């Protein structure tokens, strides 16, 4: 508290930090247009207000507001009315989506002892909204199928593929068993998917106190971490296949859309899944016998974890109400004065699992502050060049429903018009984190230099930059981080509403948020509340303000830059790094298979085996062939030279106070730049999951949230599909050549304009 106050005081005493960089370059603007832009930006940053953020959160998180609930539609109408009140044209666009809610949930230990799980989060006196039980969704995993199974229990650690490799060595099979897995280390939907692939018939997920409970810190309400009865709800749909409504893949879930029968919906989980608190999980885990779990699998409960199978037997019975419910997206438009057919889209979801003060309201209120500020600027005569679309999505929690269905419905128009999508979700305290398209790293870094960090008085850029240096592994990486002037924008996996825009439509996107100082264990529980947030997270709403400033300015610059402010050298660098990564991966896989085969021949596994705790010897594997990465290497090289040619031409054309382009030239340049980024997401998409078209990164097939870079190539190597790995290296190489070709065209345009002496 003291630290924060001092820092806030410093921040107020120093000059407004955005006034210090008047002459700093602004990507996409000439000095003259940058001066006009700065005038408006100065007015903008003064507007986002902590009190207003707090009051909006108080209202929006006051009652449970999950998709399909009365409060969900009331919140949507309230948001629309606010937006209209600020002078923006706002509408609600409605979709009909499949959203199962629980009808019956039973988890019981039927042997050797009996225990019935409570499956209920108790109200806490300290937290007034935790007692709104009549409106709370019960604890469950959305898109688990109905099921009724009784089977022996097996503990599978985090339930990710490498844990099953370990089980195999231990000689333990999950065939016909119910597995119990810790939350964490992968997206939750991966766990039942991998369990079912190994023959399990049911899946229990629980939050281990080691991860976000009492081993992490004081538990709620004394501290921010997960109390014994806290449960993480969440979707278990097969999101890496496609996002959005499971019945309408690839098309908008409008009222009259053609729908798959539920029995044919491929993204619904294959086996029943139920989440548990650690209070409910402990008796189940304690009843498992067999071998003790490997030392690094032990969690934070005061028991020895065993692997099983059995003798613990569990009865799992789940029934759901499989209904179509309305999803209410609130969408507001500020028409562009000069380039109305180029759109900057900015969004955050408004639905929550329960009250959702942090997830998603802490991010949604930033959008509202940006909207309020834009309303005020419009009254003073501000007119952005391009159209700004502000969206508050519904149904993000079940599976990015509102954003995906909207993006699919307007896919053709977005494909032609959207220049960027800017996303936020829950927001905390600390450093700015950014993932997304490398081509937006320069723009974001310029903005972040102009926004003060509330706790340190440094700029948001400086704090994040120093954080990148401090956390870089090894001297080389540290040096590299120190020298880098643009913030590191990490590759996008999935887990929020950018997915349809970036991965499906190839629109350059950013996902932004402050974090690193906001640990807790209330995620997707009834304890993610106004009380929790205002006690433990961004209590003064100064990071909400910083977020509204950061994303607001990024939106404004995208909307008013003369030339789209993409910068491609970060992309070209990332491609080079990722190319080296996949080559290293291939080499590592080769080497480790060769080594393992050799150890099998040399009887190493016999020598290393403890006969009292025997391990199964792995089988010999075929050594992978050498692969031809040449088309990918050529594409990467071509992109690199096109990028530097474009940068040189750009710098030459934008010298002094003006630029070398006439109006049709400017139109063509912007159109080319927009096309350049689309080249990375060709219509054929990724193998086995063509909905995902972005070839630069995708949510991992077996990781979910975490991105796989060059996913086509990398996942083929992971799965040992060698011809596919080569075909994907070729496809990606082609996409890079195409992007390079467009950049060459853009460079030629600038060069000839310059030569013609305009
Ligand atoms: Zn969220």
The DSSP output letter for 250 is T
Contacts of 157 (CB under 8 A, 6+ apart): 163, 166, 181, 182, 293, 294, 297
Quote the CA–CA distance of 509 and 434 in Å, as a whole number: 10
**Helix pair 630-653, 569-601: axis angle to 10 deg:** 160
Both structure tokens of 341 = 């057919």
CA dist., res. 22 & res. 18, Å (int): 8
Cβ neighbour number for residue 291 with a 10 Å cutoff: 12
For 338, list phi and psi in degrees, rounded to 5: -115, -35
Dist CA 236 CA 551 (whole Å): 30
| pLDDT score of 654 | 84
Other C-beta atoms within 10 Å of 133: how many?
13
Q: Tell how far the Cα of 80 is from the centroid of ligand 1, in angstroms.
A: 20
Task: Give this prediction's pTM.
Answer: 0.96
Contact indicator for 411, 505 with CB cutoff of 8 Å: yes
- Per-10-residue mean pLDDT, the chain, length 758: 35 42 83 94 98 98 98 98 98 98 98 97 98 98 98 98 96 98 95 98 98 96 97 97 97 97 97 98 98 97 97 98 98 98 98 98 98 98 98 98 98 98 97 97 97 96 95 92 93 95 98 93 97 98 98 98 96 96 96 96 92 92 96 98 97 82 94 95 97 96 88 96 98 98 97 81
97 C-alpha to ligand 1 centroid (Å): 18
The CA 54 to ligand 1 mean position distance, Å, reads: 18
Neighbours of 252 (CB within 10 A): 18
The whole-number pLDDT of residue 21 equals: 59
CB 208 within 8 A of CB 258: no
Given this model, what pLDDT does residue 658 score?
76
Residue with structure tokens 């593929």? 161
How many Å lie between the centroid of ligand 1 and the Cα of residue 428? 12
- Cis before 374 (ω within 30): no
CA of 394 to the centre of ligand 1 (A): 10
- Give the DSSP H/E element, type plus range, for residue 148: strand 147-155
Which residue(s) pair with 313 in the sheet? 111, 152
Which pLDDT score is estimated for 22? 67
Q: How far apart are CA 46 and CA 37, in angstroms?
A: 15
Query: Whole-angstrom Cα distance, residue 328 to residue 94?
Result: 5
Distance from the alpha carbon of residue 423 to the mean position of ligand 1, in angstroms = 11
C-alpha distances (whole Å) from 252 to each of 236, 267, 273, 404 are 21, 16, 28, 8
Residue 101 sits at φ, ψ, to 5 deg, of -130, 155
For residue 447, what are the contacts with CB-CB under 8 A and spacing of at least 6?
550, 553, 554, 557
Give the number of other Cβ atoms within 10 Å of residue 476's Cβ.
9
Distance 395 CA to ligand 1 centre (A): 10
The pLDDT of residue 758:
52
* Distance from the alpha carbon of residue 613 to the mean position of ligand 1, in angstroms: 44
Dist. CA 424 → ligand 1 center (Å): 8
What's the 398 CA to ligand 1 centre distance in angstroms? 10
| Beta-strand relationship, 89-111 and 115-116 | antiparallel
Å from CA of 694 to ligand 1 middle: 22
Is residue 445 within 8 Å of residue 516, measured between CB atoms? no
Run of H or E including 397: helix 396-399
Which residues fall within 8 angstroms of residue 476, CB to CB, at 6 or more apart? none
Q: Report CA(705)–ligand 1 centroid distance (Å).
A: 13
29/562 Cα distance (integer angstroms): 6
Would you give the DSSP letter of residue 394? S
Report how far ligand 1's centroid is from the alpha carbon of 360 (Å): 5
* CA 359 / ligand 1 centre spacing (Å): 5
Q: Is 235 left (phi over 0), alpha (psi -120 to 50) or beta?
A: beta
pLDDT at 171: 96
The alpha carbon torsion through 207, 208, 211, 214 (nearest 10 deg) reads: 110
Task: Give the Å distance between the CA of 67 and the centre of ligand 1.
Answer: 12
Dist CA 248 CA 269 (whole Å)? 16
CA 462 to chain centre: 24
Interval between CA 426 and ligand 1 midpoint (Å): 6
Report the separation in Å between the CA atom of 638 and the middle of ligand 1, taken as the mean of its atom positions: 39
Q: How far is the CA of 404 from the centre of ligand 1 (A)?
A: 14
Q: What's the 387 CA to ligand 1 centre distance in angstroms?
A: 26
Residue 342 is inside which H or E element, if any? strand 339-349
Vertex 235: Cα angle to 234 and 240 (nearest 5): 135
Residues whose Cβ atom is located within 5 A of ion ligand 1? 359-360, 425
3-class SS of residue 680: coil
């Amino acid at each position: 508290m003291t630290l924060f106050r001092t820092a806030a005081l410093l921040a107020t005493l120093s000059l407004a930090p955005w006034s210090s960089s008047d002459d700093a370059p602004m990507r996409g603007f000439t000095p003259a247009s940058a001066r006009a832009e700065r005038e408006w930006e100065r007015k903008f940053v003064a507007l986002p207000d902590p009190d207003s953020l707090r009051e909006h959160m108080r209202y929006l998180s006051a009652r449970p507001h999950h998709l399909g609930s009365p409060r969900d539609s009331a919140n949507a109408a309230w948001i629309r009315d606010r937006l209209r009140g600020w002078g923006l044209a706002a509408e609600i666009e409605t979709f009909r989506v499949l959203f199962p809610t629980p009808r019956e949930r039973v988890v019981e230990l039927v042997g050797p002892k009996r225990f019935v799980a409570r499956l209920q989060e108790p109200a806490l006196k300290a937290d007034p909204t935790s007692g709104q039980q009549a409106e709370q969704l019960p604890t469950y995993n959305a898109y688990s199928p109905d099921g009724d199974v009784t089977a022996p229990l097996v503990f599978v650690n985090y339930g990710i593929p490498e844990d099953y490799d370990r089980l195999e060595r231990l000689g333990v099979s999950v065939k016909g068993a119910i597995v119990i897995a810790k939350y964490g280390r992968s997206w939750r939907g991966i766990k039942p998917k991998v369990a079912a692939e190994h023959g399990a018939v049911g899946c229990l997920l629980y939050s281990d106190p080691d991860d976000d409970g009492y081993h992490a810190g004081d538990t709620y309400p004394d501290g921010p971490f997960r109390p014994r009865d806290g449960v993480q709800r969440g979707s278990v749909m097969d999101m890496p296949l496609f996002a959005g409504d499971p019945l309408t893949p690839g098309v908008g879930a409008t009222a009259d859309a053609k729908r798959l029968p539920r029995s044919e919906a491929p993204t619904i989980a294959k086996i029943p899944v139920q989440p548990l608190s650690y209070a409910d999980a402990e008796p189940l885990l304690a009843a498992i016998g067999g071998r003790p779990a490997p030392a690094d699998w032990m969690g934070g409960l005061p028991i020895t974890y065993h692997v099983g199978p059995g003798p613990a037997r569990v009865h799992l019975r789940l029934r759901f109400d499989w209904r179509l419910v309305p999803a209410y997206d609130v969408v507001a438009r500020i028409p562009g004065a000069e380039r109305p057919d180029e759109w900057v889209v900015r969004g955050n979801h408004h639905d929550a699992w329960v009250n959702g003060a942090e997830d998603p309201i802490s991010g949604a209120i930033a959008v509202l502050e940006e909207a309020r500020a834009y309303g005020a600027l419009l009254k003073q005569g501000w007119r952005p060049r391009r159209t700004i679309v502000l969206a508050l999505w519904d149904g993000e929690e079940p599976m990015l429903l509102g954003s995906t269905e909207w993006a699919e419905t307007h896919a053709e128009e977005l494909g032609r018009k959207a220049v960027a999508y800017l996303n936020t979700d829950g927001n905390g305290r600390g450093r700015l984190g950014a993932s997304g398209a490398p081509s937006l790293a320069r723009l974001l870094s310029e903005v972040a230099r102009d926004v003060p960090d509330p706790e340190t008085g440094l700029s948001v850029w400086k704090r994040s930059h120093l954080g990148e240096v401090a956390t870089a592994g090894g001297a080389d990486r540290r040096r590299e981080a120190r020298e880098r002037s643009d913030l590191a924008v990490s590759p996008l996996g999935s887990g929020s509403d950018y997915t349809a825009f970036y991965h499906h439509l190839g629109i350059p996107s950013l996902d932004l948020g402050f974090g690193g100082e906001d640990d807790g264990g209330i995620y997707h529980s009834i304890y993610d509340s106004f009380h929790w947030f205002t006690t433990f997270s961004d209590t003064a709403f100064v990071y909400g303000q910083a977020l509204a400033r950061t994303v607001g300015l990024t939106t404004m610059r995208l909307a008013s830059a003369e030339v789209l402010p993409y910068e491609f050298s970060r992309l070209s660098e990332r491609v080079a790094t990722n190319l080296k990564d996949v080559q290293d991966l291939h080499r590592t896989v080769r080497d480790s298979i060769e080594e393992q085969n050799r150890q099998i021949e040399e009887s190493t596994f016999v020598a290393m085996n403890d006969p009292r705790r025997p391990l199964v010897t792995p089988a010999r594997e075929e050594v992978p062939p050498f692969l031809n990465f040449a088309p990918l290497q050529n594409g990467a090289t071509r992109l690199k030279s096109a990028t530097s040619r474009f940068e040189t031409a750009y710098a030459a054309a934008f010298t002094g106070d003006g630029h070398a382009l006439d109006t049709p030239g400017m139109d063509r340049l912007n159109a080319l730049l927009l096309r350049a980024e689309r080249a990375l997401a060709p219509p054929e998409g990724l193998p086995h999951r063509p909905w995902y078209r972005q070839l630069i990164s995708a949510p991992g097939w077996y990781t979910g949230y975490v991105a796989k870079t060059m996913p086509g190539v990398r996942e083929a190597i992971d799965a040992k599909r060698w011809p596919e790995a080569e075909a994907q290296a070729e496809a990606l190489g082609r996409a890079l050549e195409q992007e390079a070709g467009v950049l060459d065209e853009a460079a030629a345009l600038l060069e000839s304009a310059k030569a013609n002496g305009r």
